[in-house]
Chains A and B, each alone.
Chain A
Amino acid sequence: MTVDYEHLVRDDRVHTSLYVDPAIFDAEMTKIFANTWVWVAHASEIPGPGSFKMSHVGLQPVIVTRGNDGQVHVLLNRCRHRAGSVCEERRGKTSVFVCRYHGWSYDLTGKLRGVPHSSGYDADFDKSDYPLVALRVEQYAGLIFATFRDDIQPLDEYLGRAKPWIDLFMKQGAGFGVKVAGTQRFRFRGNWKIQLENTTDAYHFPIVHRSFLTSLDDETEDQFDILKQGGWVEELGNGHSVMVMMPNLVDLEANLDAPIPERFAALAEELAKEHPPDTVRRIVRAVGGTGFNINLFPNVACSMAFFRVLRPVAVDETEISHIAIAMDRGPEAANRARLRLHEHFQGPMGFGTPDDAEGWERVQRGAAAGSDLWIMLNRGKPRDVSAETGMRAAYQMWKRMMAP
């Protein structure tokens, strides 16, 4: 039975089957995740030759490696002999990946190096026929993406109008550059698109996150009153969008003379012992992250102060990574402040994430009812930060990919 994707997505709504139909999920893995640029790593996670991390492209496990020449490779984590995984370490450093079943070994580029007892193969057996399957890899601003497709547009073009926003996001490196400082991971029982929507959903924030908001000092609570800051949502093409929640934190290199917020006063004082005043101001302005979320279709967001990565597991199960960011070789006091701010909201026991996860699970539970009903995305005054503009953009891209 073929699914009529064209009619499941309208301008202002999508059909409930997009959350619950396993056949649609299977098709998404092929038509979307095996068919476009998928985020796999940040460059700082594989800092030098030989470093690697495990990741996924859709359902498929991959290894992201840095070769001896510094080149990044994304390789299917599957031995070419009888499919054993060749890597079971989340990250590390190596010169070789060995299948522990029969001992085939591969180098950092995926080339097959060794086959034990190779005399058992015919004379025409050629190791160069069996490298680890390599994906196409491209990077922008330290974000590493991979794709199975050799014939789609370059990453640069795919990101398009999102690029200037990514550049703004990376300014939180405060001149030191951005480095991954740790990852919190959790799963929820719900479809991956529920999370995709959430990154561009300001509407839920004051409702779902009231208990987070009341844990803040008054000045910070005002700042996080995001429906009242004059923010907006903008479509950026190819399903990408940006939601600006705090317009005064769009450019972290502007307004460096603004007063230092009360909550960072102690940090500023500590930094002032070792850094000149302009450096202190630059760091303190960047330490809480930006005031916007960039939603990059289909699996990554640059969200205020961290990277949010989603990984579809099943039609009703999704894994999320909240990747904390620090300043590369930046002042320890400021980087620790960033870690504590991240822990405050994010992760399995943050003051925000568990409530998000509960909300998304309730969406999936609710979607078991009313199979003929629609998910409404018709909230949309222009220049309203709570407009569902970003979700509509993502679903239009979904439609283009599912029903080309």
Chain B
Amino acid sequence: MNALVTGVAPQSDIALQAAIEFIWTEADLLDSQDYTAWLSLWTERGHYVIPIEHDAVDHAAHLNIVYDDRAMRAARVTRLKSGLSMSASPSARTVRTVSRFRLMKSGDGAATIRCAQHLVEYKYDRTRTLAADVTYRLVRAGDGLALDEKVVRLVNSDEALFGIGYLL
């Protein structure tokens, strides 16, 4: 929680600004559906998680909306890009804004960032919103950063959602 001390740079080898730039790039890749580039952002063991229970911690022990390891992420991208899925071809268009960044933990070449995401989707005659708290675990990889965990906690994760034909 060292970043809570306003005005004091956290003792970290991942700066908040670098993390923010990484997350904005990721958001842009997702909105432009450059999913292959998105896959390359990840570490080998990284998990992409969209939980149902808002306060769940052990995601593997719960039912989720998404619980993807590397193989499932790749399969998911293949599916979305296959042209064989009517919810994904065409998918809704999306525009997302990521903001309210906080560095929650940092050190040992890793950082945990919490932020807010507002996503607007449009398909056919309908425009809808999905809002979420997103937690990123980023790790140092080569000269840059890699995504080691992304947990998207939708405000309405345990409410009735709808078929989502893109990535959050």
A residues neighboring B (CB under 8 Å): 90, 181-188, 208, 210-212, 214-215, 319-320, 324, 332, 336, 339-340, 342-344, 347-349, 351, 353-359, 362, 365
Q: Which of these, A183, A188, A211, contacts B163 with CB under 8 Å?
A: A188
Q: Is the interface of B mostly helix, strand, loop or mixed?
A: loop
Residue of B nearest to A362 (CB): B86
Write out the residue numbers on chain B whose beta carbons fall within 8 Å of the beta carbon of A340. Answer: 67
Asked if B118 lies at the interface with its beta carbon under 8 angstroms from chain A, I say no
What's the count of A-B pairs with C-beta under 8 Å?
97
Interface residues on B, range: 20 to 34
* Shortest Cβ-Cβ A-B pairs, 5 listed: A182-B63, A354-B163, A357-B163, A354-B87, A211-B85
Write out the residue numbers on chain B whose beta carbons fall within 8 Å of the beta carbon of A186. Answer: 160-163
Asked if B78 lies at the interface with its beta carbon under 8 angstroms from chain A, I say yes
Q: Which of these, A184, A355, A356, A365, contacts B52 with CB under 8 Å?
A: A184
B residues neighboring A (CB under 8 Å): 50, 52-53, 60-67, 72, 75-76, 78-79, 82, 84-88, 124, 158-165, 168
Q: Closest Cβ of chain A: how far from B57's Cβ, in Å?
A: 15
* Separation of A356 and B17 alpha carbons in the complex (Å): 42
Whether A355 and B160, one on each chain, are in contact in the complex, defined by CB atoms closer than 8 angstroms, is no
Whether A348 and B161, one on each chain, are in contact in the complex, defined by CB atoms closer than 8 angstroms, is yes
Whether B163 and A358, one on each chain, are in contact in the complex, defined by CB atoms closer than 8 angstroms, is yes
Residue of A nearest to B159 (CB): A185
Whether B63 and A215, one on each chain, are in contact in the complex, defined by CB atoms closer than 8 angstroms, is no
Q: Closest Cβ of chain B: how far from A337's Cβ, in Å?
A: 11
* Separation of A340 and B65 alpha carbons in the complex (Å): 10
Known A184-B65, A348-B161, A349-B65: A214·B52 in contact at CB below 8 Å: no
Q: Which of B82, B85, B165 counts the most A-chain CB atoms under 10 A from its CB? A: B85
Write out the residue numbers on chain A whose beta carbons fall within 8 Å of the beta carbon of B160. Answer: 185-187, 319-320
Whether A357 and B85, one on each chain, are in contact in the complex, defined by CB atoms closer than 8 angstroms, is no
Residue of A nearest to B75 (CB): A215
Q: Closest Cβ of chain B: how far from A363's Cβ, in Å?
A: 12
Q: Which of A210, A332, A342, A356 counts the most B-chain CB atoms under 10 A from its CB? A: A210
Known: A90-B158, A339-B64, A365-B124. 14 other contacts (CB 8 A): A183-B52, A183-B63, A186-B160, A188-B162, A208-B86, A210-B84, A214-B78, A214-B82, A319-B160, A347-B65, A348-B65, A348-B162, A355-B87, A356-B163
Write out the residue numbers on chain A whose beta carbons fall within 8 Å of the beta carbon of B84. Answer: 210-211, 214
Residue of B nearest to A319 (CB): B160
Whether A185 and B161, one on each chain, are in contact in the complex, defined by CB atoms closer than 8 angstroms, is yes
Q: Which of A211, A351, A362, A365 counts the most B-chain CB atoms under 10 A from its CB? A: A211
* Separation of A124 and B46 alpha carbons in the complex (Å): 68
Whether A212 and B158, one on each chain, are in contact in the complex, defined by CB atoms closer than 8 angstroms, is no
Q: Which of these, A319, A342, A343, A358, contacts B87 with CB under 8 Å?
A: A358
Whether B62 and A339, one on each chain, are in contact in the complex, defined by CB atoms closer than 8 angstroms, is yes
Write out the residue numbers on chain B whose beta carbons fall within 8 Å of the beta carbon of A212. Answer: 79
Q: Closest Cβ of chain B: how far from A367's Cβ, in Å?
A: 15
* Separation of A210 and B88 alpha carbons in the complex (Å): 12
Residue of A nearest to B69 (CB): A340
* Separation of A355 and B60 alpha carbons in the complex (Å): 25
Known A211-B84, A340-B67: A353·B163 in contact at CB below 8 Å: yes
* Separation of A354 and B90 alpha carbons in the complex (Å): 12
Write out the residue numbers on chain A whose beta carbons fall within 8 Å of the beta carbon of B87. Answer: 354-355, 357-358
* Separation of A180 and B34 alpha carbons in the complex (Å): 37
Whether B163 and A348, one on each chain, are in contact in the complex, defined by CB atoms closer than 8 angstroms, is yes
Whether B60 and A336, one on each chain, are in contact in the complex, defined by CB atoms closer than 8 angstroms, is yes
Whether B78 and A215, one on each chain, are in contact in the complex, defined by CB atoms closer than 8 angstroms, is yes
